[in-house]
A and B are shown apart, each in its own frame.
Chain A
Amino acid sequence: GESVGLHLPTLSVQEGDNSIINCAYSNSASDYFIWYKQESGKGPQFIIDIRSNMDKRQGQRVTVLLNKTVKHLSLQIAATQPGDSAVYFCAEKTTGNQFYFGTGTSLTVIP
Protein backbone atom coordinates (compact mmCIF):
# COMPACT_ATOMS: atom_id res chain seq x y z
CA GLY A 1 0.00 0.00 0.00
CA GLU A 2 0.90 3.63 -0.08
CA SER A 3 2.78 5.33 2.73
CA VAL A 4 1.70 8.71 3.94
CA GLY A 5 3.21 9.68 7.25
CA LEU A 6 3.34 12.61 9.60
CA HIS A 7 6.52 13.81 11.30
CA LEU A 8 4.98 14.65 14.68
CA PRO A 9 2.17 12.71 16.30
CA THR A 10 1.30 15.54 18.74
CA LEU A 11 1.58 19.31 18.66
CA SER A 12 0.72 21.84 21.35
CA VAL A 13 0.49 25.54 20.60
CA GLN A 14 -0.59 28.65 22.44
CA GLU A 15 -3.80 30.27 21.38
CA GLY A 16 -3.05 32.97 18.83
CA ASP A 17 0.19 31.40 17.63
CA ASN A 18 0.63 29.87 14.21
CA SER A 19 0.62 26.08 13.82
CA ILE A 20 2.53 24.04 11.28
CA ILE A 21 1.66 20.40 10.68
CA ASN A 22 3.88 18.37 8.39
CA CYS A 23 3.31 15.34 6.22
CA ALA A 24 5.58 13.16 4.11
CA TYR A 25 4.21 11.15 1.22
CA SER A 26 5.86 8.35 -0.67
CA ASN A 27 4.27 8.23 -4.12
CA SER A 28 5.82 10.78 -6.45
CA ALA A 29 3.00 10.11 -8.91
CA SER A 30 0.29 11.31 -6.51
CA ASP A 31 -1.39 14.30 -8.09
CA TYR A 32 -3.84 15.58 -5.50
CA PHE A 33 -3.63 16.15 -1.76
CA ILE A 34 -6.17 17.01 0.91
CA TRP A 35 -5.88 18.06 4.53
CA TYR A 36 -8.62 16.86 6.87
CA LYS A 37 -9.55 17.81 10.41
CA GLN A 38 -11.12 15.18 12.65
CA GLU A 39 -12.72 16.01 15.96
CA SER A 40 -13.49 13.34 18.51
CA GLY A 41 -16.46 11.20 17.50
CA LYS A 42 -16.79 12.78 14.07
CA GLY A 43 -15.76 11.95 10.55
CA PRO A 44 -12.87 13.78 8.85
CA GLN A 45 -13.77 17.26 7.68
CA PHE A 46 -12.28 18.79 4.54
CA ILE A 47 -9.97 21.76 5.21
CA ILE A 48 -8.03 22.51 2.06
CA ASP A 49 -6.69 20.76 -1.01
CA ILE A 50 -3.88 21.23 -3.49
CA ARG A 51 -3.00 19.74 -6.84
CA SER A 52 0.50 18.65 -7.77
CA ASN A 53 0.86 21.47 -10.31
CA MET A 54 0.77 24.00 -7.46
CA ASP A 55 3.16 24.61 -4.57
CA LYS A 56 0.97 26.78 -2.38
CA ARG A 57 -2.68 27.36 -1.75
CA GLN A 58 -4.35 29.62 0.78
CA GLY A 59 -7.71 29.42 2.46
CA GLN A 60 -9.25 31.16 5.41
CA ARG A 61 -6.51 31.09 8.09
CA VAL A 62 -4.97 28.00 6.48
CA THR A 63 -2.22 27.57 3.93
CA VAL A 64 -1.01 24.34 2.35
CA LEU A 65 2.50 24.07 0.95
CA LEU A 66 3.61 21.30 -1.36
CA ASN A 67 7.25 20.44 -2.01
CA LYS A 68 7.30 17.74 -4.65
CA THR A 69 11.09 17.54 -4.66
CA VAL A 70 11.15 16.09 -1.17
CA LYS A 71 7.56 14.78 -1.22
CA HIS A 72 6.50 16.95 1.67
CA LEU A 73 3.25 18.64 2.50
CA SER A 74 2.52 21.11 5.28
CA LEU A 75 -0.54 22.76 6.75
CA GLN A 76 -0.17 26.16 8.33
CA ILE A 77 -2.90 27.48 10.59
CA ALA A 78 -2.72 31.17 11.40
CA ALA A 79 -3.80 32.56 14.77
CA THR A 80 -4.68 29.13 16.14
CA GLN A 81 -7.90 29.00 18.15
CA PRO A 82 -9.17 26.48 20.73
CA GLY A 83 -11.65 25.24 18.14
CA ASP A 84 -8.71 24.13 16.00
CA SER A 85 -7.86 21.40 18.51
CA ALA A 86 -8.31 18.13 16.64
CA VAL A 87 -6.41 15.44 14.75
CA TYR A 88 -5.21 16.51 11.33
CA PHE A 89 -4.64 14.07 8.47
CA CYS A 90 -3.10 14.51 5.09
CA ALA A 91 -4.37 12.34 2.27
CA GLU A 92 -2.83 11.70 -1.13
CA LYS A 93 -4.61 10.57 -4.25
CA THR A 94 -2.74 8.07 -6.34
CA THR A 95 -2.97 7.61 -10.08
CA GLY A 96 -5.49 4.84 -9.38
CA ASN A 97 -7.81 7.44 -7.81
CA GLN A 98 -7.50 5.96 -4.34
CA PHE A 99 -6.94 8.19 -1.32
CA TYR A 100 -4.41 7.13 1.30
CA PHE A 101 -4.20 8.74 4.71
CA GLY A 102 -1.34 9.34 7.12
CA THR A 103 -1.39 8.50 10.80
CA GLY A 104 -2.46 11.97 11.89
CA THR A 105 -1.19 14.75 14.14
CA SER A 106 -3.06 15.66 17.28
CA LEU A 107 -3.14 19.44 17.71
CA THR A 108 -3.86 20.87 21.16
CA VAL A 109 -4.42 24.59 21.53
CA ILE A 110 -3.56 25.96 24.95
CA PRO A 111 -5.77 28.90 25.97
Chain B
Amino acid sequence: EAGVAQSPRYKIIEKRQSVAFWCNPISGHATLYWYQQILGQGPKLLIQFQNNGVVDDSQLPKDRFSAERLKGVDSTLKIQPAKLEDSAVYLCASSPGQDNEKLFFGSGTQLSVL
Protein backbone atom coordinates (compact mmCIF):
# COMPACT_ATOMS: atom_id res chain seq x y z
CA GLU B 1 0.00 0.00 0.00
CA ALA B 2 1.43 3.38 -0.99
CA GLY B 3 1.86 5.85 1.83
CA VAL B 4 1.04 9.53 2.11
CA ALA B 5 3.00 11.43 -0.52
CA GLN B 6 4.18 14.99 -0.02
CA SER B 7 6.14 17.41 -2.13
CA PRO B 8 8.43 19.21 -2.24
CA ARG B 9 10.68 17.60 0.35
CA TYR B 10 12.49 20.87 1.09
CA LYS B 11 11.77 24.51 0.33
CA ILE B 12 13.76 27.64 1.05
CA ILE B 13 12.15 31.02 0.51
CA GLU B 14 12.57 34.58 1.63
CA LYS B 15 10.09 36.26 3.95
CA ARG B 16 7.07 37.76 2.24
CA GLN B 17 7.29 35.24 -0.59
CA SER B 18 4.58 32.64 -1.16
CA VAL B 19 4.90 28.86 -1.06
CA ALA B 20 2.66 25.87 -1.66
CA PHE B 21 2.81 22.30 -0.43
CA TRP B 22 1.11 19.31 -1.97
CA CYS B 23 -0.24 16.15 -0.38
CA ASN B 24 -1.64 12.95 -1.85
CA PRO B 25 -3.21 10.83 0.89
CA ILE B 26 -3.50 7.07 0.98
CA SER B 27 -6.09 5.92 -1.51
CA GLY B 28 -9.55 5.76 -0.02
CA HIS B 29 -8.74 7.78 3.09
CA ALA B 30 -11.56 10.21 3.74
CA THR B 31 -9.87 12.38 6.35
CA LEU B 32 -6.84 14.53 5.65
CA TYR B 33 -4.88 16.66 8.09
CA TRP B 34 -2.19 19.31 7.80
CA TYR B 35 0.13 19.72 10.76
CA GLN B 36 2.91 22.20 11.45
CA GLN B 37 5.91 20.90 13.39
CA ILE B 38 8.36 23.46 14.68
CA LEU B 39 11.78 22.10 15.62
CA GLY B 40 11.72 20.46 19.04
CA GLN B 41 7.93 20.46 19.31
CA GLY B 42 5.10 18.09 18.60
CA PRO B 43 2.95 18.45 15.50
CA LYS B 44 0.32 21.18 15.73
CA LEU B 45 -2.94 20.74 13.84
CA LEU B 46 -3.59 23.40 11.22
CA ILE B 47 -6.60 22.04 9.35
CA GLN B 48 -8.66 18.89 9.01
CA PHE B 49 -10.69 17.84 5.96
CA GLN B 50 -13.39 15.22 5.72
CA ASN B 51 -13.58 14.38 2.02
CA ASN B 52 -13.53 17.86 0.45
CA GLY B 53 -15.09 19.70 3.39
CA VAL B 54 -13.30 21.49 6.22
CA VAL B 55 -13.95 19.94 9.65
CA ASP B 56 -11.67 22.15 11.71
CA ASP B 57 -9.48 25.09 10.75
CA SER B 58 -9.56 26.92 14.07
CA GLN B 59 -5.75 26.93 14.37
CA LEU B 60 -5.03 27.94 10.80
CA PRO B 61 -3.69 31.52 10.54
CA LYS B 62 -6.18 32.47 7.89
CA ASP B 63 -4.64 35.85 7.14
CA ARG B 64 -1.72 34.05 5.47
CA PHE B 65 -2.47 30.33 5.29
CA SER B 66 -5.00 28.66 3.03
CA ALA B 67 -5.72 25.06 2.19
CA GLU B 68 -7.99 23.21 -0.15
CA ARG B 69 -8.88 19.65 -0.97
CA LEU B 70 -10.64 19.70 -4.29
CA LYS B 71 -12.42 16.48 -5.27
CA GLY B 72 -11.72 15.05 -1.82
CA VAL B 73 -8.34 13.56 -2.71
CA ASP B 74 -5.18 15.68 -3.07
CA SER B 75 -4.68 18.75 -0.95
CA THR B 76 -2.56 21.87 -1.14
CA LEU B 77 -1.49 24.16 1.69
CA LYS B 78 -0.38 27.68 0.81
CA ILE B 79 1.37 30.39 2.77
CA GLN B 80 1.25 33.95 1.46
CA PRO B 81 3.15 35.95 2.55
CA ALA B 82 5.57 33.83 4.57
CA LYS B 83 7.08 34.99 7.84
CA LEU B 84 10.26 33.87 9.56
CA GLU B 85 8.24 32.04 12.22
CA ASP B 86 6.67 29.83 9.53
CA SER B 87 9.92 27.89 9.31
CA ALA B 88 8.87 24.37 10.22
CA VAL B 89 8.10 20.95 8.83
CA TYR B 90 4.62 20.72 7.32
CA LEU B 91 3.19 17.26 7.73
CA CYS B 92 0.23 15.80 5.93
CA ALA B 93 -1.64 12.87 7.43
CA SER B 94 -4.64 10.84 6.38
CA SER B 95 -6.93 8.35 8.01
CA PRO B 96 -9.61 6.03 6.68
CA GLY B 97 -12.21 7.56 8.98
CA GLN B 98 -15.31 5.87 10.35
CA ASP B 99 -14.19 2.89 12.45
CA ASN B 100 -10.48 3.28 11.67
CA GLU B 101 -9.04 6.50 13.02
CA LYS B 102 -5.30 5.81 12.78
CA LEU B 103 -3.32 8.69 11.31
CA PHE B 104 -0.74 7.87 8.67
CA PHE B 105 1.83 10.58 8.04
CA GLY B 106 3.87 11.61 5.05
CA SER B 107 7.55 12.53 5.36
CA GLY B 108 6.74 16.23 5.42
CA THR B 109 8.00 19.36 3.70
CA GLN B 110 10.75 21.21 5.50
CA LEU B 111 10.29 24.95 5.01
CA SER B 112 12.98 27.48 5.76
CA VAL B 113 12.02 31.15 5.60
CA LEU B 114 15.02 33.49 5.41
**Interface positions of A (Cβ within 8 A of B):** 1, 4, 32, 34, 36, 41-46, 49, 89, 91, 93, 96-104
* Contact among A1, A34, A103, A104 with B103 in the assembled complex (CB-CB below 8 Å): A34
* Contact among B31, B91, B101, B102 with A43 in the assembled complex (CB-CB below 8 Å): B91
B108 engages A102 (CB within 8 Å)? no
> Secondary structure of the A side of the interface?
strand
Q: Mark B103-114, 1 if CB is under 8 A from A, else 0.
A: 111111000000
Q: Which of A41, A93, A101 has the most CB of B within 10 A?
A: A101
CB distance from B3 to the nearest CB of A (A): 9
Chain B residues near A41: list those with CB within 8 A: 107
Q: Mark B62-97, 1 if CB is under 8 A from A, else 0.
A: 000000000000000000000000000001010000
A43 engages B105 (CB within 8 Å)? yes
* A104 touching B41 in the complex, CB below 8 Å, given contacts A34-B102, A43-B108, A93-B101: yes
A43 engages B42 (CB within 8 Å)? no
Complex-state Cα separation, A67 to B102, whole angstroms: 21
CB distance from A92 to the nearest CB of B (A): 11
A97 engages B48 (CB within 8 Å)? yes
B106 engages A43 (CB within 8 Å)? yes
Complex-state Cα separation, A47 to B105, whole angstroms: 12
CB distance from A25 to the nearest CB of B (A): 12
Chain B residues near A46: list those with CB within 8 A: 102-104
Nearest residue (CB) in A for B91 is A43
CB distance from A30 to the nearest CB of B (A): 12
CB distance from A2 to the nearest CB of B (A): 9
Cβ-based interface call for B60 (8 A): no
Complex-state Cα separation, A46 to B59, whole angstroms: 24
Chain A residues near B48: list those with CB within 8 A: 97-98
Nearest residue (CB) in B for A32 is B101
